[in-house]
Amino acid sequence: MVNSTAISRINSAKAVLNIEHNSGDLIQKLFDTKKENEAREILDLLWENMFHQEEIGEVAFFIVPQLVNYMIENKSLEMEILSYCISIEYHRIIQDIEIPKEIKNDYENSFEKLWNKINFFLEKDCDFNMCIAISSLIALKNNQLKLISMLL
């Protein structure tokens, strides 16, 4: 469940591109939908707001915690969300981007939640892409940035 405060914080954050839709509204739609194909389309639109040509929009730091919560609550789109979150964090680190103070704790806690779900990820049927995403999470946890750059 996403709260209205999170929605307004997301809507007020800067996206990487000037896109017609509000990311907060998309997050709400993601939580509301029961159809995986619709959720996947929404996730693609969110990705366009978060990341473009290795540029991270401020909005990404507000969206990542919501995506992690969605993934945990719905047990859906694990590989995509895991990959998106790792990619955002990797590029944040190599570009030395500061996390906005008002979201820093939630953002950092979202990666702890991902790390705590590692056994869940390992127990799933791991296709090649999920194995890459899990390996990237382990590399991120161990600050192995060169390994992540090879995996992404």
User: For residue 20, how far is the Cα from the chain centroid?
Assistant: 20
The number of folded domains in the chain is 1
User: For residue 8, how far is the Cα from the chain centroid?
Assistant: 18
pTM for the whole thing?
0.83
Distance, CA of 85 to CA of 63 (rounded, Å):
9
pLDDT digits (tens, 9 = 90+) for 101-141: 999 999 999 999 998 888 777 777 778 888 888 899 899 98
- Domain with 109, as residue range(s), is 4-151
- Lowest-confidence pick of 22-36, 46-60, 67-81, 82-96: 46-60
pLDDT at residue 99, rounded to an integer = 93
